[in-house]
Amino acid sequence: SVGSIKLDLTEVTLDEDKRVVVENGMGEIKIRVPETMNVRAECSADIGDASCPDGLSGGSDGTAGPVLTIIARAKVGDVEVTR
């Protein structure tokens, strides 16, 4: 696909582990997660920058509870996962 992808997950709560895969051919990917969500992100950009939390990021309340695994890939464009 071509164009920007913006995914706002700040209102999401997890009852169990979940996985999200976001892929883009050309254009940026920006994903926002809640401050307290446990996140494991795997980000890559063939041409561009990838900025994601390293390993398991527990947010402001530690790492207990369900984990959201995010796999975000862009061929051309930046990839970013933020709180």
Percent of the chain with pLDDT over 70: 100
CA 80 to chain centre: 7
| Res. 8 pLDDT band, cuts 50 70 90 | very high
User: Greater confidence, 57 or 77?
Assistant: 77
Reported as a single tens digit per residue, the pLDDT across 38-70 is 999 999 999 999 999 988 888 777 778 899 999
Calpha distance 26→74 (Å, rounded): 7
Q: What is the pLDDT of residue 58?
A: 87
Q: What is the pLDDT of residue 55?
A: 87
Q: What is the mean pLDDT of the chain?
A: 94
Q: What is the pLDDT of residue 32?
A: 97
67-76 and 18-26 as β-strands: parallel, antiparallel, unpaired? parallel
